[in-house]
Structure 1
Amino acid sequence: MGDLDDDLRRLFGDDRLDVHPAPDATDAVLRGAHRRRRRRAATSSAFLVVALVGVGLGATQLRTLSHDDPADELLETATSTSTASTTSLPPSTSTVAAPGSSSRAATPPASSGGATTPPGTGTGKPRTTTPSPPPPPPAEPGRLGALLLGMSEADALATGALIEPSSPADQENRCTAYATRSVPDSDAVVISPAKGIVRITRPSTAKTQRNVGVGSTVAEVKAAYGGATQSGTTVLVPMAASPSWSYVFTTNGTTVTMVHMRLAAHDCPTA
């Protein structure tokens, strides 16, 4: 052990093993330390500037989004388009979603390709329909000029519309007949002693209130008066009036040749 200690002291005491620093070593170390501090300061400043710029850009983007929301623009555009369009379009299935949220487009139900069955219909029993009642008889007065159905013979003569003398209207001579100033036939007006005027013949140029008369077709008479009934060549149309009476349209099978106004409760055989 003593020899080893002596060798170590002799080795460490050898001047050849000493490290001698350069004359400017201290200045070099100081200059390097200053450079490192400057680089660190520059890096910190750069990071600070970048952070400030990022904050400014973020605030600007937030203001832009708050004032110019693309979702609002899309909604306004869609509303304007749907208002200006004059064609009915199917409802859109697209949905505008806010940023950061997810939405699914509504998928329309698949069509089966078959005909749509109206509500309330099916394969059940058919509904029974009640036939509509016949239309009520039209209301027209039984009057031609001054002559009125049911008017007594004396009152009829007082109008001056009858042409005298009278003639028998039937073989039993129960009723009398007169010509009129508008119809020269001798039986243009038939009068019953008990019922008064029971029949008036209308002039060939006269039209009813529904614009039918001599020359009209049977089809036109039935179209004008829904309650008309035909028996042979005669078409009868009852009227709603008091006393009750009817139009009697005499035809040749297709066209009206004469029009009478006849009291319903008459007692003259030829009326």
Structure 2
Amino acid sequence: MDDIDDELRKLFNDDRLDVHVTPDATSSVVRGAQRRRRRRAAATGTFAVVAVIGAGIGLTQLRPLALDSADDLLPTSSSTASTTPPPPSVSTYTQTVTVTVDPPVGGVPNTAQNGTTAPNTTKSSSTSTTKESAPGVFGRLALGMSEEDALKTGSLGTAGTPTEAGCKPYSSVSNADPSTVLISSAKGIVRIKLPDTARTSKNIGTGSKVTDLKNAYPSAAVNGSELVVQMTATPAWVYVFENDGTAVTSVRMRLADNDCPGA
């Protein structure tokens, strides 16, 4: 150890190792220290400015983020609600009207190809069960009229011989046949025979063709040599058309409910 100490002492005492300081060394050191302080101060200021700016930018960026996060958490009301009132509801209806020009026969309407109800062109015709309607009146005489009332009309002619049933025949001012009018004491006038020149309301009379008679009165029923047409007036009565199969030979009106045979 002593050898080492001795060597160190020799080394430190060697003049060759001395550092020779120039006369302006002190001022140079001072100036270098000042330069270092200025650079340090400048660097510190720059860092401070940068730090402040960075902090401002950070706050600016952080604030919207915070607000956005808050907005996401807070309940919001819908701003898209419609303020326009709903359009008024409109109710529509369809009304279908079917117009029938003529009522269908048998209650079944004619249907056209397009499915609409077409006017019925079929004409109704009388059948054998159809009865004509007309009062049983000729001139001033009427079926069912009493003998007394008939005499008051002045239309009766000469009285004939009463029948076995008590029915009294009369001629009339328009027909000289002595059996033109037949009167029952209980039923009144039960028969009026029309003169050859007389015609019914459908233009049928003595001399008319049987075919014309049947066309005018489709409900005419055959009774021997007679064609009988029922009428529906009150009192009920019938037309009796005597014929030879081709033409009408006589026409008489007869009370439906009578007590005189052969009326």
- TM-score normalised by L of structure 1: 0.49
Q: Counterpart of 1:168?
A: 161
Q: Does 1:147 align with 2:141?
A: yes
Contact 2:165 2:261 survives alignment (8 Å):
no
Q: Which runs of 5+ in 1 are unaligned?
A: 1-117, 120-131
Name the amino acid aligned to 1:268. C
Contact 2:221 2:229 survives alignment (8 Å):
yes
State the structure with more CA Rg: 2
Q: Does 1:138 align with 2:132?
A: yes
Cα separation, 2, equivalents of 1:184 and 1:162: 10
Tell me how far 1:226 sits from its aligned partner.
Answer: 1.3
Name the amino acid aligned to 2:238. S
Q: Counterpart of 1:158?
A: 152
Residue 169 of structure 2 is aligned with which of 177, 185, 193? 177
Tell me how far 1:173 sits from its aligned partner.
Answer: 5.1
Question: Residues 196-207 of structure 1: matches in 2 within 5 Å?
Answer: 196-207=188-199
Q: Give structure 1 regions of 4+ aligned residues with deviation exceeding 6 angstroms.
A: none
Q: Counterpart of 1:40?
A: none
Cα separation, 1, equivalents of 2:179 and 2:171: 6
Tell me how far 1:194 sits from its aligned partner.
Answer: 0.2
**Sequence identity (%):** 47
Question: Residues 1-271 of structure 1: matches in 2 within 5 Å?
Answer: 134=128, 136-164=130-158, 166-170=159-163, 172=164, 174-271=166-263
Tell me how far 1:169 sits from its aligned partner.
Answer: 4.2
Contact 2:127 2:219 survives alignment (8 Å):
no
Cα separation, 2, equivalents of 1:234 and 1:190: 19
The verdict on how the C-alpha distance between 1:133 and 1:139 changes in structure 2, with shifts beyond 3 A counting, is closer
Contact 1:168 1:174 survives alignment (8 Å):
no
- TM-score normalised by L of structure 2: 0.51
Computed over aligned residues only, the root mean square deviation of the Cα atoms, in angstroms, reads 1.8
The verdict on how the C-alpha distance between 1:235 and 1:150 changes in structure 2, with shifts beyond 3 A counting, is same
Q: Which runs of 5+ in 2 are unaligned?
A: 1-111, 114-125
